[in-house]
Structure 1
Amino acid sequence: MSESVVCAFERTEKGRKARREGFIPGVVYGKGVESVSIKLEQKDFRRVLQGRSMTSMFKLKLGDKVQNCIIKEIQKHPIKGEILHIDLQAIDRDEVIRLKVPVVFEGREKLASNRYLLQEFINEVEIMVKAADMPELISIDVGNRELGEKITISDLSISDDIKVLHDDDEVLAVVSAAKVDIKADSESASEDTAETDSNSGSESDGNEG
């Protein structure tokens, strides 16, 4: 995915005032970079986030300077869900960085067809990688897994350029049996029985005639 550019402005006012004016308050920092309070236009920032992983790199234009950044943290309102504050990390493409990457489990439909479900324990992994080689996500196909089978860190297909900061035997997920809705099955069986009894009664009435 190509890198997008988002414009930022230096911020001197408090975050609340910036939000009232339609901006997202934040801060940008990094190795050898002075920490700067910034504000971003909400529409511009949403355009960059749309369809992107939190770990994807984008270009931040601050004044005359353009630098590569990743999102380190987003603070959101617990009820409204609006963005309250954002932390950005300025990085060099050759810099080795530490970050968390989401794990995407593919093949759930196939598990469901076998009346299995995937019980997740970990949905992101922490890695160290050169910024230029940073993956947006790590995917694994679980469609052919059997009941009770564990998916561990060692099952992930990861480039040798990436260092995973987890033990190989750490469990990401387990294939479990899907719960059967006993109440629904019971009601269905009762309806079938009632329908059978009704048909039997109708046949008996007809024979008496």
Structure 2
Amino acid sequence: MESLTLSKRENKTSHAAKKMRRNGLVPGVLYGKSVGNYMFEVGELELSREINEVGEHGILDLNLEGNRVKALIKEVQRDAVNHEIIHVDLQEVKKNSIIQADVPIIFHNEKLVSKNGGILQKEKNSIKVQCNAEELPKNIHIDLKGLKVGNVVRMGDVEMAKEISMIEDPDTVIVSVTYAKNEGTYMDEEEIDEQDEKKE
């Protein structure tokens, strides 16, 4: 991961922020004991590249006026229409510091549930965890293979690395299967793949 260079933002008006965005820059704020509330601007392309690599709640390496700083992405605001980044909030983190962050969930094998008539109800799209800043995962993966109508996945069902603590109620539902159009016609993954190949 490359170091992302931040430039101090002198003009803090909303008009100036709009002008920045037109010029391919994103306004943001970096919070931290050593930096205070540091208002900055950063290239949208460079920021997007780093977010794609570490995730929207990951850790960034920053170049802050020649100093190397690590920061946790706290919030990424996007335009409702084109989804371009319009503002970003960062929080400074020290080496080996313990942090809390919301880690996005990636669901696998959703098509197996829908092919068997089940309808997924996703209650959560992230999980709050606590860990060393260096150990923060980009995503948490949940495999939905084998889920049938009436099944649920709760926080307590998710396996975590021993270095990571989940800060959630274990009974909180993440996803459930609530309805089946074709009960009694359960197919496994190979059968579904064969069916898809025939359609093609």
1:135 to partner: Cα distance: 0.9
Aligned to 1:5: 3
Distance in 2 (alpha carbons) for counterparts of 1:102 and 1:22: 27
1:51 to partner: Cα distance: 4.8
Task: Give yes or no for contact 2:51–2:58 (8 Å, CA) kept in 1.
Answer: no
1:25 to partner: Cα distance: 0.8
Distance in 2 (alpha carbons) for counterparts of 1:107 and 1:81: 26
Q: Does 1:175 align with 2:177?
A: yes
Task: Give yes or no for contact 2:57–2:75 (8 Å, CA) kept in 1.
Answer: no
Aligned to 1:187: none
Q: Does 1:101 align with 2:103?
A: yes
Deviations 1:96-123 (A, max 9, x none): 1111111122121222332223211111
TM-score (norm. length: structure 1): 0.77
| Aligned-residue RMSD, C-alpha | 1.9
SS at match of 1:158: coil
Aligned to 2:162: 160
SS at match of 1:50: helix
1:4 to partner: Cα distance: 2.7
SS at match of 1:44: helix
Distance in 1 (alpha carbons) for counterparts of 2:5 and 2:90: 13
1:72 to partner: Cα distance: 0.8
1:7 to partner: Cα distance: 1.2
Aligned to 2:38: 36
Task: Give yes or no for contact 1:55–1:135 (8 Å, CA) kept in 2.
Answer: no
Aligned to 1:202: none
SS at match of 1:109: helix
- Structure 1 consecutive aligned stretches of length 4 or more whose deviation exceeds 4 Å: none
Aligned residues with identical type, % of pairs: 27
Distance in 2 (alpha carbons) for counterparts of 1:101 and 1:39: 25
Distance in 1 (alpha carbons) for counterparts of 2:24 and 2:125: 33
From 62, 75, 78, the counterpart of 1:76: 78
Distance in 2 (alpha carbons) for counterparts of 1:22 and 1:72: 21
Deviations 1:74-107 (A, max 9, x none): 2223334332221111212311111111112212
Distance in 1 (alpha carbons) for counterparts of 2:57 and 2:76: 12
**1:71–1:46 Cα change, 3 Å:** same
Task: Give yes or no for contact 2:56–2:76 (8 Å, CA) kept in 1.
Answer: no
Aligned to 1:206: none
Q: Does 1:18 align with 2:20?
A: yes
TM-score (norm. length: structure 2): 0.80
* Structure index of larger Rg: 1
Unaligned runs of 5+ in 2: 183-200
Aligned to 2:198: none
1:18 to partner: Cα distance: 2.7
SS at match of 1:27: strand
Aligned to 1:61: 63
**1:52–1:106 Cα change, 3 Å:** same
